[in-house]
Structure 1
Amino acid sequence: MTLSHDLAGAGPSTVLLLHSGVCDRRMWDGQFQALADAGHRVVRCDLRGFGDSPMDAPHTHADDVRDLLDHLGVERAAVVGASFGGRIALELAVRHPGHVSALALLGSDVPGLTPSAELEAWGEREDELLDAGDLDAAVELNVDTWLGPEAGPEARALVREMQRHAFEVQLAAPEEFDPAEPEVGADDLAGIEVPALVVTGAHDHPDFRAVADDLTRVLPGARRVDLDWAGHLPALERPDETARLLATFLAETMSHRAA
């Protein structure tokens, strides 16, 4: 299966946008065309089990993304990942390094993250609500947790819609179609040598701020940006500002490659 995706722009460089675990490719509405206008060929996709990509077989997300790039004839892409999408971007860079030219990681998760007691309790609460069939409450739990104070009603409504759809698709799929967890660890991340932008928000959960600390230390080519206004999903909280941040990083990355 080829992941559902959109294309924009016709520049010489390709940018791939990977959504968070509470969203689908629509989370990039504020950056998709802006990055195309900045001179890039932009791809945004729905990971399997999200948006328009069905959860129809056993799979590994990073391999699905590799297959999409191959389908599009893309040799290398700068990969932008938000939260769960950041984890998939890191797994892609480890498993298929020739496909990745740069990484931009926004509130990124990492492979093998051990959650704090607080985050583990949050996950248990989400599981309780889903087991009880209370999707409305599980959706609101996610909306309230992952969107920062800058998120307006439109962003909250969109996350509400995207998260509910993801729950419905994933809960309906048999367990054997759950994604495989590739064996990628901290030592593997240290071998990623492409330029990396690590973005964190002052209002994000402490676990993900700690992840940003670790990534900044572990990734050889990492640069850290702290956003004092952001929560976990800056792309939805201040779309235009996030688009400018990404465009600047990508322009700098291209200029370094050309030098």
Structure 2
Amino acid sequence: MTLSHDVAGDGPAVLLLHSGVCDRRMWDPQWPALIAAGRRVIRCDLRGFGDTPAATHPYRDADDVLDLIDSLGVETTVLVGSSYGGEVALEIAARSPERITGLALLCPAVPGHEPGPELEGFAHREDELLEAGDIDGAVELNLGTWIGPDADDTTRQKVRAMQRHAFDVQLAAGAPDEDAPDEGDEADGTGFETALAAVKARCLVVSGAHDLQDFRRIAARIPELLPDARHLELDWAGHLPSLERPDETTALLLRFLEDMPAAG
């Protein structure tokens, strides 16, 4: 399957990977600025989000993304990932480090993370609402959990629409017949952490002071796993800084990209 995607601009490639409560539209605020900065900018919808259908068979999002950049003739790229998109970015970088020239991770997830009480409680409540058929309730739970205090009403409505669409698409498709293909020890996080040692790209990992503790801990841990990584916590941010304060996050990304190699 070719993921639904947009491509625009000329120059070194930057690939934007959305969070699990959004789709590629979450990058609308950053899109024009990155193009104007002389980048070939790519954004895609992972399976079951936006315009990409949900899967009915085992798959890996990282495989889909690698297939996409292959189809576009992209040899190397910077990856910018939000939340689950950050997890996908890390998996790609661990598997194909020679293709990744930089990593900007906004409140990323990681494979094999053992959820703390807050995250476990959220997941349990979301499951209850979905099993009861209360899709609207599940959407509002996600908004209350993931959007920080600085998001305006327009942003909240946009996230609400993206999350509702994802639920509708994924619930209509049902679960894939089998689990995703096994990649050995990476599933429990141990092998994954070892694989990250091969990543040489410079990395910026961002956390939000208003985010769940799980994601703040993950972000603080990543510089211990990558040879060239810096952690920055934003005192105003929740889980989706690129939407909560788009101008500040765009400026942060542009500063990070200034030193990236001109290849792609």
Q: TM-score, normalising length from structure 2?
A: 0.93
Distance in 1, Cα, partners of 2:161 & 2:132:
20
Q: 1:108-139 CA distances to partner (integer Å, 9 max, x unpaired)?
A: 00111110022111100000000000000000
User: Is the contact made by 2:118 and 2:213 (CA closer than 8 Å) also made in structure 1?
Assistant: no
Which residue number corresponds to residue 243 of structure 1? Answer: 250
Corresponding letter in the other structure for 1:237: E
1:177 Cα deviation from its structure 2 partner? 5.5
1:75-224 equivalences in 2 (<5 Å): 75-176=75-176, 180=180, 182-183=183-184, 184=186, 185-224=192-231
Q: 1:174-206 CA distances to partner (integer Å, 9 max, x unpaired)?
A: 322677264432212233221100111111111
User: Is the contact made by 1:3 and 1:68 (CA closer than 8 Å) also made in structure 2?
Assistant: yes
Distance in 2, Cα, partners of 1:97 & 1:55:
28
Which residue number corresponds to residue 234 of structure 1? Answer: 241
Pair 42,178 (structure 1): closer, same or farther in 2 beyond 3 Å: farther
Distance in 2, Cα, partners of 1:235 & 1:179:
31
Task: Give unpaired runs (5+ residues) of structure 2.
Answer: 187-191
Which residue number corresponds to residue 3 of structure 2? Answer: 3
Which residue number corresponds to residue 189 of structure 2? Answer: none
CA RMSD, 1 decimal? 1.5
Aligned residue pairs, count = 255
Identity over the aligned pairs, expressed in percent?
A: 57
Between 1 and 2, higher relative CO (CA 8 Å, sep ≥ 6) is seen in 2
Task: Give unpaired runs (5+ residues) of structure 1.
Answer: none
Distance in 1, Cα, partners of 2:210 & 2:240:
10
Which residue number corresponds to residue 42 of structure 2? Answer: 43
Kindly report structure 1 stretches of 4+ aligned residues shifted beyond 3 Å: none
User: Is the contact made by 1:54 and 1:169 (CA closer than 8 Å) also made in structure 2?
Assistant: yes
1:219 Cα deviation from its structure 2 partner? 1.1
Distance in 2, Cα, partners of 1:32 & 1:182:
33
Q: 1:207-241 CA distances to partner (integer Å, 9 max, x unpaired)?
A: 10000111021111101122111111000001111
Distance in 2, Cα, partners of 1:31 & 1:177:
37
1:168 Cα deviation from its structure 2 partner? 1.0
